[in-house]
Amino acid sequence: MKNIAQRTPGRSCFRPSRLLLAGAGLMLSMTAVTPALSQEDVAQLGFVYWETKTDAFVQMANGGRAVGMLDPQVNVLTAAPDTGDPQRQAALFGPIAQTQTDGIVLQSLVPGPITRPVVEATGAGIPMAAIDAPPPEGTNVGLFITADNVGIGAQLAEQVLALVPADATGSVLIGNTGVGIPPLDMRVQGMIGKIEELRPDLTIVGPVATNGVSASSAEVYAAWEALLRNNSDAVAVLAPSAQDATAWGLLAQRTDFDLPSGGFDLEAGNLQAVKNGFVDYIMSPGHWLSGYLATRALANAALGEADLIQGLLLVPGELVSSENIDEIIARQSSEETVAAALAPVGDDILANADQYIVGPWPPQ
């Protein structure tokens, strides 16, 4: 079992006591009442995530652990399989639910095996929040925090299309190392919609599977090399997944690749490709913030600082380009520098959560 617990001195933050969402002529309550701990108690929180190898998932867990680093009244225990294994993740959830009874964050890509233990946990009164991908149906998880994946996919496509000459003809290639993964598919949806809106004259090729999420960098490189070779009329490349931009950087060094490009996630290879001028844009979907927000919200409720917010909360994306790449690389250099920069951002989002909650969860 991959379990990491951290509790280090830090600061605690003020949180609003109740948040309401107004929309479509309705006033929807976005809170759930949670029994508060006494002042001397420590909130025991759990964080169960998909796997420990992919940077995006690690960043989510780091965001959760940061709450324990910054607040001496919070202890965060994390658990995840080494690779994406639904049965193993479900097995790891059980021990977390036995000890971390003040709240659990769940990040899971497959609803099957994890459903029953989550139902048992919420049935036992353990507050829960889901991040990244929706919680399994019928599990009574009322807080879901994720990126506006359709929106940031469209935003990235718009930025890349602005680099394509108005009189250019040809195709826009969309590769995806995670076809079928809901957040990635939603980003592709946003990309396609924006291309069709702004450049209906261009042909969309994809999404094409550029090997799976467990593929090596060499395999993703080979997939893109073949995709470009078979589509010599390409005028731009896009990807909703993490490994593709690193492959473009390598292609730029080894071949004549020089197309407007936009990928996702703050992996080191992606950032270096932007730094070197080989990739134009990287979009961060706020993985660290998602983990921090969910864990901090549970901590606030457990400590009696606020009721647990409820609903669908969308985390804003962050566009990385040559203009801010040095700042982003410096920020991402350690867990401490990330926490120092982004924890205040997360605190502000929670203090103004009604501006980020777009509806109830589950949807009605």
Residue 51 clears pLDDT 60, i.e. is over it: yes
- The domain total for the chain is 2
Any domain includes 52: yes
Q: How confident is the model over 57-79, as a mean pLDDT?
A: 97
Each residue of 157-188: pLDDT tens digit?
999 999 999 999 999 999 999 898 889 999 99
DSSP for residue 352: T
Helix intervals (H) in the chain: 55-70, 86-99, 115-123, 149-161, 182-198, 217-229, 244-254, 268-275, 287-302, 325-331, 335-351
Residue 289 clears pLDDT 90, i.e. is over it: yes
User: Could you tell me the pLDDT band of residue 33, with boundaries at 50, 70 and 90?
Assistant: very low
Edge-to-edge strand order for the sheet containing 261-264? 203-209, 171-176, 234-238, 261-264, 281-284, 318-320
**Residues 259 and 341 both lie in one domain:** no
**Residues 144 and 292 both lie in one domain:** yes
d(CA 10, CA 2): 25
Residue-wise DSSP of 126-171: --EEEESSPPPTTS---EEEEE-HHHHHHHHHHHHHTTS-TT--SE
**Residues 70 and 87 both lie in one domain:** yes
Residue-level pLDDT at 8: 33
Q: Which two tokens stand for residue 254?
A: 């080894």
Any domain includes 155: no
d(CA 222, CA 327): 31
**Residues 241 and 299 both lie in one domain:** no
- Segments forming the whole domain that contains residue 193: 164-279
Measured in Å, how far apart are the chain's first and last C-alpha atoms? 37
Residue-level pLDDT at 364: 86
**Residues 180 and 237 both lie in one domain:** yes
3-class SS of residue 112: coil
Any domain includes 108: yes
Q: Which two tokens stand for residue 33?
A: 């009442």
**Residues 130 and 113 both lie in one domain:** yes
3-class SS of residue 34: coil
**Residues 135 and 174 both lie in one domain:** no
Residue 32 clears pLDDT 60, i.e. is over it: no
Residue-wise DSSP of 204-227: EEEEEE-S-TT--HHHHHHHHHHH
Of the two residues 7 and 327, the one the predictor is more confident about is 327
Residue 82 clears pLDDT 80, i.e. is over it: yes
- Please count the CA atoms within 13 angstroms of the CA of 53 that sit on its side-chain side: 10
Model-wide pTM > 0.85: yes
Among 9-18, 72-81, 208-217, which stretch is predicted with the lowest mean pLDDT?
Answer: 9-18
Share of the chain above pLDDT 70, in %: 88
Any domain includes 6: yes
Residue 15 clears pLDDT 50, i.e. is over it: no
Residue 18 clears pLDDT 80, i.e. is over it: no
Q: Which two tokens stand for residue 4?
A: 């990491």
Residue 59 clears pLDDT 70, i.e. is over it: yes
Please report where in the chains the tokens 């997939």 appear, as a residue: 223
**Residues 211 and 234 both lie in one domain:** yes
Residue-level pLDDT at 118: 98
Any domain includes 60: yes
Residues with Cβ within 8 Å of 226's Cβ and at least 6 positions away in sequence, in order, are: none
Residue-level pLDDT at 211: 85
Any domain includes 216: yes
Residue 15 belongs to domain with CATH number: 3.40.50.2300
Q: How confident is the model over 313-336, as a mean pLDDT?
A: 97
Share of the chain above pLDDT 90, in %: 84
Residue 24 clears pLDDT 80, i.e. is over it: no
Last residue of a domain, one of 233, 259, 279: 279
Residue 291 clears pLDDT 90, i.e. is over it: yes
Residue 17 clears pLDDT 90, i.e. is over it: no
Any domain includes 159: no
Q: How confident is the model over 71-79, as a mean pLDDT?
A: 98
Instruction: Note whether 209 and 239 are within 8 A (CB).
Output: no
User: Could you tell me the pLDDT band of residue 268, with boundaries at 50, 70 and 90?
Assistant: very high
Please report where in the chains the tokens 């009874």 appear, as a residue: 101
Q: How confident is the model over 281-288, as a mean pLDDT?
A: 98
Residue 21 clears pLDDT 80, i.e. is over it: no
Q: What is the mean pLDDT of the chain?
A: 89
User: Could you tell me the pLDDT band of residue 261, with boundaries at 50, 70 and 90?
Assistant: very high
Any domain includes 355: yes
Last residue of a domain, one of 279, 308, 342: 279
